[in-house]
Chain A
Amino acid sequence: MSLIDFKILIYREEKKYFEINLKEDTEIKILSLLEKIKTNFIFDLKMNMNCRQAVCGSCAIKVNDKPILACKHSLSEFVINKNKGYTILKIEPLGKTETLGDLTTNMEKFYNSFKKIPEYLQLDLNAKQKKELYNNKIIDDCIKCGICYFICPVIEINKNFLSPSTINKNFKFLSDDRDTLKKDRLELSKSNSYQCIKCLKCLEFCPKSCDPFYKIEKTHTMLLNSKFKSSGTTHSFAIYNSIFKTGKIKESFVAIKTVGIIKSFKFMPQLFKIIFTGNFGFFKKSKNLREIKKLFFISGEKNEK
């Protein structure tokens, strides 16, 4: 047990934080600290504290801008300098714009994001033998804490984007052989999953290691292997072919292949930028094209013949 000075800032309203100076044991969990604060300092603090074991997913908050489950993390993880001065703990709700008061977040939008997909397994009971049909190995540990949703930078600007959590859920059923709604699921994700900017935040902060980013990538692979075409899939193919043929990502080639010649005129300003930065390449191939092609063969993506 080691006691350390903390300066705790609790979010109450916009630009209004409640400040507490405390000497606290670094081994205790953030949730226990909040419980203590609610008992002794802020009697009307709105917060969630339910299962205490990262199963219910209700205590997701931000501490020093890091989204966490309060029950899972202890104070020691936020101590920067043990010997000097005090450690600042800035405790805020998961979504500041969506707060229901103090540290609680309105999850309505998050829950509604799941409504975009059929959130259940659709079985065709006549299709296969019953035993095989019932044997499920796909496990989804998502506890719907909302961390990946509220940390995702795309959701703020693009309402059509299927959130990481929704793609994660969709993938659970997509990878299930028994599900009969595969086409609908792929159709739904064909353009709405390609808006991911691959910032990897969902992967970094998921408290249950669900890795939504991996599921997004896997969904893309499934889409590429399917008949469904969208600007996302053609873009991927264009990049793939560009690298295979020239050893480079030739932006001009990729743009034309993705949206067609006429539409690519829209990108004229970007085109000039590409020319200035020297990425245009003017049909030059990479010097190491042979080595690059070898990578395709090694990975099994292409046959040497």
Chain B
Amino acid sequence: MINSFTKTTTDVLVVGSGIAGMSAAIKAKQCGADVAIVTKLFPTRSQSCCAKGGINVCLSEEEEKDLIEETLESAKGLSSVDNIKFVASYSKKILDFFLSTGTPFSREIDGTLKRKKFGGQKTEKTCFVKSSTGFFLMQSLYEQVIKNKIKIYDNIFITDLIYLKKEQKFCGAVGFNTKDKIPLFFNAKNTIIATGGGASIYKTSSNSNYTTGDGFALALNANIPLKNIEMIQFHPTGIYGSGILVSESIRADGAFLINSNEKKFMKNYSPLKDLAPRDVITKAILNEIKEGRGCGKNRDQILLDCRHLNVDESDSLKDTATMLNDFFNINMKKDLIPIYPTAHYFMGGVEANKNGEATINSAPVKGLFVAGEVACADIHGANRLGGNSLLEAAVFGAVAGESSAKNFTSIKLSTPKTIDKNLNINSIFQNKKTLSTLSCLKIKIELKDIMQTYAGAIKTEKGLKKGLKKIEALEIKMEVADKTILEDFFETKNQLLIAKAIIKSSLARKESRGAFMRDDFAKENINIFNIYVSKFEDKIFIKKEKV
């Protein structure tokens, strides 16, 4: 069976080509390892490109202290001080790396870096490039990947990780080429998953359509549990209707939220007003709408006022103004921006330690590393601060790359003799071309609706249970769905699995903590729990563990 796969061997295999993936690949290559990046999209098309705000950087010890304190406070007990300290102290290195690659960070006239204060921060720590920081960081990283002559395999969809039971370690991944559906086997000493998040599972989402959480599904299918997967951040300022983000930097520049009475309401919710952490603002917006102070025809939106800002003064404002004008016909100087919280970031994921290794019950899994949004390295906890995601992705990407390339010469490359019958990849060999009238996209859209309605920003037990039933019904529908476009089929399957995991995990968390809000359990529990979701023989299991 394994012979029918086109085999590629490498020391380090990186699945995903966002900021974490490319950082990992560059670092591993610089450590001397042979590296291959495998990605379903060309690197510069990854979700990381859509990151707008900025990257947090600590240039002094005081700033480090501040960042640690702020991140800890916002994480609401679900993060590790050690790991945050590590990230904060590593941030200077990351900045130096990006500067040496030519990233055009915005600067003052005298040449010093411009920095902003994002939500939940006391001092200015966020460096940025206009309002498209992610895009420019990605450009720099891609150039470095080319410079380091790292092999890129694009248009490849990875369906399964390969685990060797005898040796108890991972030895690569299998997938197929989306151009010609040829099955591929990437045999590697170490595998790094850096596939990003999966927030496009929601109807109103800031994420791109292909951010389908494939990495979460890869892990679940390989019997690796997901930690706190129900912790999903809803960014307060998504544009009403489409969910596309209006960067937090606009509020850092002085924009504020108003309700139907044309009054600033954030002062009633937090002393930090419009620069409170994202969970606080999201909660406030939803509360205003609930109490009938929403705007628009259906009174289901809030308005962002930036009419008083001098757009020509700053690059980032200009960038936002162009985007609003081109896509939504909104003139920032005259119009108010209708906004609604939008699904943005998965704080949970595959548990990882400080070395970027994937762990189960705190014990590292042999041959498997995780970095970026797909990982849960105990940094963001229950709510992520603006600017921390790019930092975490870059730091843990580099760390995972470094540790995966450590001792790679002494590790022996193991190859499986057969491919397990239960793996997803087997379904590409069943070449029955059935005529189906149900497209995978239709299921995806139905799923988005279900998640938005029943597992949105504020959840209830009744809603979650109803949502779960609907998802199970969709799973049955999935059996007769059109399989002509295989990547669509696998993405939809992955999304259904993750949706189930999110709902089951949400049901187990009987409290409200940070970004996770339950209507029926509005208060924080005194005891802090981590929730693990795992999959065994098509059944999902939940484990609660006290922190």
Contact = CB atoms under 8 A, between A and B. Distances in A.
Contacts of A38: 439, 441
Contacts of B144: 120
Contacts of B49: 51, 55-56, 143
Interface stretch (A6-14, A89-97, A132-140, A197-205): A132-140
Interface in B115-166: 129-130, 132, 135-136, 139, 143-144, 146-147
Interface string A8-52: 000000000000000000000100000100111001101001111
Interface string A103-126: 000110001001000111101010
Nearest to B437: A43
B426 interface: no
Given A51-B50, A55-B132, A43 B100 contact: no
A43 B436 contact: yes
Interface in B485-532: 485
B100 A52 contact: no
Interface string B16-51: 000000000000000000000000011011110110
B244 A53 contact: yes
Nearest to B146: A119
A29 B146 CA distance: 34
Contact of A135 (B107, B143, B208, B209): B107
A53 B327 contact: yes
Contacts of A137: 104, 107
B99 interface: yes
Contacts of A144: 42, 44-45
Interface string B463-497: 00000000000000000001011000000000000
Contacts of B130: 139
B44 A57 contact: yes
A52 B45 contact: no
A55 B244 CA distance: 12
Contacts of B484: 43-44
A57 B45 contact: yes
Given A35-B441, A120-B147, A131-B111, A52 B436 contact: no
A43 B439 contact: yes
A119 B208 CA distance: 26
A72 B327 CA distance: 6
Contacts of B240: none
Contacts of B103: 136
B210 A136 contact: no
B445 interface: yes
A206 B111 CA distance: 31
A135 B111 contact: yes
B42 A111 contact: yes
A120 B139 contact: no
Given A55-B49, A140-B139, A39 B104 contact: no
A189 interface: no
Interface string B442-454: 1001000000000
Given A100-B179, A136-B102, A50 B208 contact: yes
A67 to B, nearest CB: 17
Contacts, number: 111
Size range of the interface on B?
Answer: 35 or more
A188 interface: no
A143 B44 contact: yes
Contacts of B41: 50, 56, 58
Contacts of A56: 41, 44-46, 49-50, 208
A55 to B, nearest CB: 5
A176 interface: yes
Nearest to B243: A52
Given A43-B439, A43-B484, A144-B42, A55 B101 contact: no
A51 B242 CA distance: 11
Contacts of A55: 49-50, 132, 135
Contacts of A131: 111
B105 interface: yes
Most chain B CB atoms below 10 A, which of A72, A106, A121: A121
B332 to A, nearest CB: 16
Nearest to B136: A139
B100 A123 contact: yes
A39 B441 contact: yes
Nearest to A31: B209
18 contacts: A29-B327, A39-B442, A39-B445, A43-B436, A43-B484, A44-B439, A44-B485, A52-B244, A55-B135, A106-B179, A119-B143, A121-B143, A123-B100, A134-B100, A137-B104, A137-B107, A139-B129, A178-B102
Given A120-B144, A136-B102, A139-B136, 16 more contacts: A43-B438, A43-B441, A43-B482, A44-B484, A54-B327, A55-B132, A114-B146, A120-B147, A121-B143, A123-B102, A134-B99, A135-B111, A136-B104, A139-B130, A140-B139, A144-B45
Interface of A: 29, 35, 38-40, 43-44, 46, 49-58, 71-72, 100, 106-107, 111, 114, 118-121, 123, 125, 131, 134-140, 143-144, 176, 178
